[in-house]
Structure 1
Amino acid sequence: MNDAQLQFDVVINAQGQYSLWPAGKPMASGWSEAGMRGERQVCLDYINEHWIDMRPRSLREQSSASFQ
């Protein structure tokens, strides 16, 4: 089975950063499932749609607070 056929989970950390994780593997500390599972490209497309601002959450919040 090649990488494109493997199943992945989209995962997210507390800073709002996304990644792929092999489906069925124990979750790494600090990460949780984002609710999407599929082949690699499907998951990457999901991340591209949902992770619009690449900055960590703490930096986004700091930036928005400075504009208020």
Structure 2
Amino acid sequence: MATNPFEDADGRYVVLVNDEGQHSLWPARIEQPAGWELVKEESGKQECMEFIEANWTDMRPRSVVAALAG
């Protein structure tokens, strides 16, 4: 039975960001999807999660922030 690569506590991950500033924890062994930029090199899941918590402080997409700012 295959395990979900997104749920592997012992897996290796990277952090990706899209044009809207949204972050994603991504398994390092899976090809990076188009439209996403690598912002944290490969490391453990916990380290990547801590990076996301420290750097993605406003969950609103950039377009929403810009629209609200006028």
Question: TM-score band, normalised by the shorter chain?
Answer: 0.7 to 0.9
Q: Deviations over 1:9-61 (max 9, x none)?
A: 00000100001111132111211101342111111110000000000010011
1:58 aligns with 2:52: no
Identity across matched positions, percent: 36
1:24 aligns with 2:57: no
Q: TM-score, normalised by structure 1?
A: 0.82
Q: Unpaired segments of 5 or more residues in structure 1?
A: none
Q: TM-score, normalised by structure 2?
A: 0.80
1:33 aligns with 2:38: yes
**Misfit runs of 4+, over 4 Å:** none
Superposition CA RMSD, Å: 1.6
Q: More helix per residue: 1 or 2?
A: 1
Aligned length: 64
